[in-house]
Amino acid sequence: MNKTTFLEYNFKCPMCGAKLLLRDSKKGQFIGCSQFGPSKCEFNAPMEEYFDMTPPEKRV
């Protein structure tokens, strides 16, 4: 996946209600609001924080 590839999810932004996108950066993938930008929504989160990436057998 390159920096310009976006994978749209059916999840809503917790701040504004817009769709969330999977985005690429130099630091790795993250979830960001589709309305991200100056004077718009500022929501973004690392994949691991937004989705529980722990294997089911290791969840408490």
pLDDT number for residue 23: 83
pLDDT number for residue 52: 65
Domain membership of residue 56 (yes or no) is no
* Structural contact between residues 19 and 36, judged by C-beta atoms closer than 8 angstroms: no
The model's pTM is 0.62
Domain region containing 43: 7-51
Reported in sequence order, the residue ranges of the chain that DSSP labels E, i.e. its strands, are 7-12, 19-25, 28-33, 44-46
* Segments of the chain with pLDDT less than 50: 1-5
* Structural contact between residues 22 and 31, judged by C-beta atoms closer than 8 angstroms: yes
Domain membership of residue 15 (yes or no) is yes
Number of folded domains in the chain? 1
pLDDT number for residue 2: 44
